[in-house]
Structures are given as structure tokens and as C-alpha cells.
Amino acid sequence: EDVVVHKVSAADDPFGKDPERHPALIVNSAKPYNAEPPPDLLIDAGFTTPNEIHYKRNHLPVPEIDPETYRLQVEVEGKQCVRLSLEDLKMKFPHYRVAATIQCAGNRREEMMAVKPVRGLSWGLGAISTTEWTGVRLRDVLAYAGFDLNEDGPLQHVQFEGLDRDMTQAYGGSIPVHKAVDPHGDVLLAFEMNGEPLPRDHGFPVRVVVPGVVGARSVKWLGKIIASTGESQNHWQQKDYKGFSPSVDWDTVDFSTAPAIQELPVVSAICAPTAHALVSAHEDTIPVRGYAWSGGGRGIVRVDVTADGGATWHTAQLAPPEGQPLHRAWAWTLWEAEVPVPEGARGKEGAKLEIACKATDASYNTQPELAAPIWNLRGVLTNHWHRVPLVVSDEE
């Protein structure tokens, strides 16, 4: 479940010290705070999403961390543990800047909930955002702490522990070591977001950014790193953020049978026009804009848009991320298309139509048509074609 309801008096409210947020965000949960930008705001912002409208996905209260006393513990199992201040991190290691899209496993969940209820926050299509992150490489920090980058040894996982916690647990997760140490994997310990210090909602003073991987592993408010023989035993690694068959329900689910989500499948969405928008009866085409992205650094090679249920497809113009080749494309591809209004609807006041999009990534993976066959009890991994209903109108 996404949210544990905390019953407390106002004075003891663990969320009482959460930061202020932008009023335009759509709030899916107030405590912990989970919110997304509306689709048109997201797309109008362009390639990088301004920090204040970047989607916020908090599992627990936002911790208050003093950057002066902050220490990051780095442990390589079988070696000593090192402690690094924020200053150490910034001074001891080269800085890197990486444009990366982060997407919540639950993005577009509301479309899956329309098939059958699931447990989870009702995210629209805005639980995805793109940032220019600045930080140091995880692999450099691991090497500093004694990890042998060239050895393919028993330490197969890198665990992260957050400093966000409640009475019973902290947030945490892990990634496979091959991703952590890959010189082309671009995993950062970030301290800047679009050129500013990380906002409190995004992990101040230091967070992990794992490009190409589900947002859940980009642990915020990073307290500890452990290079380990085993995966993180954290709740959100073991008992959540996994995919199951549509026929598995909460009575039959065995979380140990599925791997923790790491790379995400290819996805796309139409951000403009928005649902139930009016199409002018005087126009022959509809300008359509949206995003497409895939996990594992797989760039987007094509986006197809249809206004007639898939009878004809229109290939969108792509704006791929600059300087990111097809095998290392961590950031989304924004796209636009001029889609002809189908003849049956053209100029007809009140006619209804539906536009839909699907993307293809560099491995030529595509999106499935429907939500039902990918439905899962936790409502993650929603990546079927995105559909937007529209109405033709005479109004100017």
C-alpha cells in the first residue's frame, strides 16, 4: 500500500514540518505528500521539469537534515565503513551532470484502476518528470570505500537507506551491482536539481538518481549505502514494486515469486489535448503533444498516433534528448503530431472521437493495447496505449 494513515494530535504530526508546495499540483495524498503536475503544465514546461512542479512521491514524512552535520555512511561488506560529509562528497569526487527522467512505478495507475480496483494512489499521467541532475558517481564513491570495480565478486547488490522514517521503518531499496558500477550507467549521488540545491521534497541534501530505473530506487535523503551480497530487505523492495499476472490477487500473491522492478517498460502519453477537450469543428487536424520514455536507457525510435482506433497511424515528430545516444537515453523524448480529424467526425458539432498513442523504443519494444492484460494488484507498470476522448465543437 502506498499510504499508512497516521493518527496523531496536531502537535505531534510527523508531517507537520513538511515543506510548502506549489498550488498547481494535483494532490493524490497529503500525508505523506504525493502530487503530480497537470498534463498541460507538465508538457508546457518542456524538456526539463521545473523543480517545484516535478512530481513528488513521498513514502514517509520529509526529514529535516542539517547539511553541516549530515554524514553519508558507505559500507562495503567485509571492509571498513566510511563516513562522508556533504563537503567531502563535493570535494573528493568529480562532478557529473546527467539529464534523466524519473518515473513512478504507479504512473497512469488511474487507468488501471478503471479496469478493476487496485491498492495504490490514483496517479494520472504526471508521475514522471525530467531533471538535469548534478552529483558524483556512485561508482567513484564505492571505489573510494574499497569496492573493487573490476571484480565480479559476491557483492551483487548496492543497497540504499533513506533518512525518512516513521515509528517502524525507514525507506530503502537496492539496485544490481552491474548497474551501480557500469561506467555508462550514470548512477549519481545528486546534490543539485536543475542547478539548484535539492529541494527538501526531492531528498535534500543528497539523493540517489538511478537513470533508466523505476523512481523507487532513486532513494532520497540518502543516509547509507551498502555494497552487499543480498538485495535490500526493505518493505518497498521485497513486498511492493513488483509485477504480477492479472490473475494474482491479494489472497494468492507471493511477493517472493517476482523480481523487484528495476528497468521500466516503454511508455508514452498524450499531454495535450487533455481528456474531453473540444476540437474545433473548423479544423481538419488536431495538434497532439506528449512524452515517451523507456527504461534501461533505451531511446524512443517512433511514436504513432491514431484518431480512428488504430486504422491509420500518424508518426510523430520526435525531440530526442540531446547528446544521449539510443542506448544511453535516460531522458524522455517529447513529441508532437498533427492528426487528421476522422472524416466521420470532421465539422460535426458534438461528435466524439478518441486519440491514442503508442511508442516504440530502441529495442523495438512497443506498448500493449489494453490495460486488462497487464492489470496487477498493485497497479504498477501501466503502459498500454494512452487514449484521450475529445468532442467536436462549433464554439470558437
If one asks whether residue 216 binds Mo ion (CB under 5 A), the answer comes out as yes
Tell me the three cell numbers of residue 347: 465539422
CB of 272 to a copy of itself, least distance (A): 22
* C-alpha of 47 from chain center: 15
If one asks whether residue 317 binds a copy of itself (CB under 8 A), the answer comes out as no
Q: Which of 126, 223, 273, 296 binds a copy of itself (CB under 8 A)?
A: 296
The option from a copy of itself, Mo ion, none interacting with 104 (CB < 5 to 8 A, set by class) reads Mo ion
The option from Mo ion, a copy of itself, none interacting with 216 (CB < 5 to 8 A, set by class) reads Mo ion
| Integer CA distances (angstroms), 168 to 64, 164, 342, in order | 18, 11, 56
If one asks whether residue 368 binds a copy of itself (CB under 8 A), the answer comes out as yes
If one asks whether residue 365 binds a copy of itself (CB under 8 A), the answer comes out as yes
Tell me the three cell numbers of residue 250: 491479494
Question: Site for a copy of itself (CB under 8 A): how many residues?
Answer: 48
If one asks whether residue 246 binds a copy of itself (CB under 8 A), the answer comes out as yes
Question: Site for Mo ion (CB under 5 A): how many residues?
Answer: 4
Of 236, 232, 273, 238, nearest in space to 256 by CA: 238
Element (H, E) at 340: strand 333-340
Q: Which of 27, 44, 275, 312 binds a copy of itself (CB under 8 A)?
A: 312
Pick 105 or 198: Cβ nearer Mo ion:
105
If one asks whether residue 176 binds a copy of itself (CB under 8 A), the answer comes out as yes
3-state helix, strand, coil in the chain (%, to 5): 15, 35, 55
CB of 249 to a copy of itself, least distance (A): 12
Of 228, 222, 211, nearest in space to 159 by CA: 228
Output the CA angle 124-265-34, nearest 5 degrees: 30
DSSP state of 181: H
CB of 32 to Mo ion, least distance (A): 12
Pick 19 or 154: Cβ nearer a copy of itself:
154
Pick 104 or 339: Cβ nearer Mo ion:
104
Q: Which of 315, 349, 350, 394 binds a copy of itself (CB under 8 A)?
A: 315
Output the CA angle 165-171-174, nearest 5 degrees: 155
If one asks whether residue 370 binds a copy of itself (CB under 8 A), the answer comes out as yes
CB of 381 to a copy of itself, least distance (A): 5
Beta strand 222-228 with 71-76 is parallel
Asked if 128 contacts 101 with a C-beta cutoff of 8 angstroms, the reply is: yes
If one asks whether residue 104 binds Mo ion (CB under 5 A), the answer comes out as yes
Residue 21: count of CB within 10 angstroms of its CB: 16
Tell me the three cell numbers of residue 323: 547528446
CB of 221 to a copy of itself, least distance (A): 27
If one asks whether residue 238 binds a copy of itself (CB under 8 A), the answer comes out as no
Pick 133 or 385: Cβ nearer a copy of itself:
385
CB of 206 to a copy of itself, least distance (A): 26
The β-bridge partners of 304 are: 315, 358
Of 215, 212, 160, 224, nearest in space to 182 by CA: 212
CB of 308 to a copy of itself, least distance (A): 11
CB of 159 to Mo ion, least distance (A): 17
Place of cell 563535493: 90
The option from a copy of itself, Mo ion, none interacting with 7 (CB < 5 to 8 A, set by class) reads none
Enumerate residues 339-358 that contact a copy of itself by CB under 8 A.
358
Of 387, 367, 361, nearest in space to 308 by CA: 387
CA distance 151 to 143: 11
If one asks whether residue 118 binds Mo ion (CB under 5 A), the answer comes out as no
DSSP labels, 137-170: EHHHHHHHTT--TT---S--EEEEEEEEE-SS-E
CA distance 91 to 98: 19
CA distance 205 to 67: 6
Instruction: Write out the residues near Mo ion by the rule CB under 5 A.
Output: 104-105, 215-216
Instruction: Write out the residues near a copy of itself by the rule CB under 8 A.
Output: 176, 178-179, 184, 243-248, 258-259, 261-266, 295-296, 298, 301-302, 304, 310, 312-315, 325-328, 358, 360, 362-370, 372-374, 381
